[in-house]
Amino acid sequence: MNNQRRNVLKTGTGAAVLGALAAAGMIAPGIALADWNKAAFEAKSMADTLKALGATQPADSKDVQVTGPDIAENGAVVPVGVTSAIAGTTMVAILIDKNPNALAASFKLPEGTEANVQTRVKMGQTSNVYALVKAGDKFYMATKEIKVTLGGCGG
């Protein structure tokens, strides 16, 4: 099985291979994940990202909060958290306006998982950080500006 896997990996890359593996039943269905939303992650502007996520006109909400430092000394490691008090929150995404690609991560929350996620992101420069939350069929958004003194994109 391992040899087969190597061969498959040699013949292609990325999603195509994963798709092939999943189709061949080599990845258990429970582990084979949903397709990575390429369009959303490669979108450059906020507007395009929102469109790719299917979020049209998200409403500003006080029930959604972005947590993070006011000033980040190191843009390579900026702790950011999102909490939502909206009942039935099923999706949370973190977007950084001025990064080369706005979308940093999205999280799908099955029932029973709290809308409270923390991670660390890279920020190229001072920017607004948005939390996009989906509850039911509606999208909500909150924002926080994080100032970066040293960019996180190397160079």
Partner 1 sequence: MATKPMRIRASTKDGVTEVKALIAHEMETGQRKDANGAVIPAWFITELTASHNGKVVLASEFGTAISKNPYLAFKFKGGAAGDKVAITWKDNKGETRTDEAAIG
Indicate the residue among 59 and 89 with the shorter CB distance to partner 1. 89
Selected binder of partner 1 within 4, 36, 71, 73 (CB under 8 A): 36
Q: Which residues 117-136 are close enough to bind partner 1 by CB under 8 A? A: 117-123
Is residue 26 within 8 A of residue 5, CB to CB? The reply is yes
Is residue 76 within 8 A of residue 122, CB to CB? The reply is yes
CB of 152 to partner 1, least distance (A): 8
CB of 91 to partner 1, least distance (A): 10
DSSP 14: H
Can you tell me the distance from the alpha carbon of 32 to that of 46, in angstroms, rounded to the nearest whole number?
29
Indicate the residue among 39 and 71 with the shorter CB distance to partner 1. 39
DSSP 5: H
Is residue 70 within 8 A of residue 105, CB to CB? The reply is no
Is residue 126 within 8 A of residue 146, CB to CB? The reply is yes
Q: Is 25 left (phi over 0), alpha (psi -120 to 50) or beta?
A: left
Indicate the residue among 23 and 33 with the shorter CB distance to partner 1. 33
> Where does residue 146 rank: exposed (0-12), middle (13-18), buried (19+ CB within 10 A)?
buried
CB of 35 to partner 1, least distance (A): 9
Indicate the residue among 102 and 141 with the shorter CB distance to partner 1. 102
CB of 33 to partner 1, least distance (A): 4
Query: Which residues here bind partner 1, judged by CB under 8 A?
Result: 9, 13-14, 17-18, 30-31, 33-34, 36-37, 41, 76-79, 81, 96, 99-101, 103-110, 112-114, 116-123, 152-155
